[in-house]
């Protein structure tokens, strides 16, 4: 499998192989903790191993010469050493995905106009965290009745909540118990397929 990877360098082959393994495991794992790390997280783990190896190689000497720990997968915050588990870009993607899953609108008229806060947002589509009814604002739905007069929609738009995305077990529990009775099974199956393709299309560098 490694030799069959169409890449210019061995490093690119390793990255392609890791991505292939992760894609193959995506449909089989029960929890994300069972997934192998992505390429960035694996590199940070490898750097920490290299630093520890240098430490033990010099353990029998009177003086050690060790590289800066912050360049080897750790960080120092207020005097405490912390592990850098992943790149900032990947952490931001995870946070955005969590918000996408847990936050959304509560429209009652199908989310067809700019009264819908999701339609006005950067994502444009409703998410699993929405509590809307009879929603047609899904990525696979091409028959959307979009109002021509956007100004009138904005004037009559639903008030946007001042939402904090800090984790809170009580509010998260209430939001997970969402009303999705207006969404058909077929729509959601197509929706997840579209989202999965989008996730795998994201760049990892």
Which pLDDT tens digit goes with each residue over 124-151? 888 888 888 888 888 776 444 443 334 4
Mean pLDDT over the full length of the chain: 71
Residues 6+ apart with CB under 8 A from 64: 55, 58
| DSSP annotation string for 40-100 | HHHHHHHHHHHHHHHHHHTTTSSS-----GGGTTEEEETTEEEE--S-HHHHHHHHHHHHH
DSSP letter for 34, please. Answer: G
φ, ψ at 72 (rounded to 5°) = -130, 45
DSSP letter for 36, please. Answer: P
104-126 per-position pLDDT tens digit: 888 988 888 888 888 887 778 88
């Amino acid at each position: 499998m490694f030799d069959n990877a169409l890449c210019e360098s061995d490093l690119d082959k390793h990255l392609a192989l890791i991505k292939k393994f992760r894609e193959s495991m995506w449909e089989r794992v029960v929890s994300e903790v069972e997934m192998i790390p992505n390429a960035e997280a694996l590199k940070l783990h490898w750097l920490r191993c290299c630093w520890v190896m240098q430490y033990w190689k010099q353990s029998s000497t009177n003086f050690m010469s060790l590289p800066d720990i912050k360049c080897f997968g750790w960080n120092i915050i207020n005097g405490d050493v912390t592990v850098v588990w992943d790149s900032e870009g990947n952490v931001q993607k995870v946070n955005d995905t969590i918000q996408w899953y847990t936050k959304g609108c509560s429209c009652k008229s199908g989310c067809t106009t700019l009264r819908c806060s999701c339609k006005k947002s950067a994502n444009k589509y409703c998410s699993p965290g929405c509590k809307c009814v009879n929603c047609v604002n899904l990525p696979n739905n091409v028959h959307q009745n979009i109002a021509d007069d956007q100004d009138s929609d904005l004037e009559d738009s639903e008030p946007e909540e001042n939402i904090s995305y800090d984790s809170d077990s009580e509010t998260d529990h209430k939001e997970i118990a969402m009303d999705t009775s207006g969404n058909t099974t077929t729509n959601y199956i197509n929706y997840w397929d579209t989202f999965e393709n989008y996730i795998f299309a994201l760049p990892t560098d």
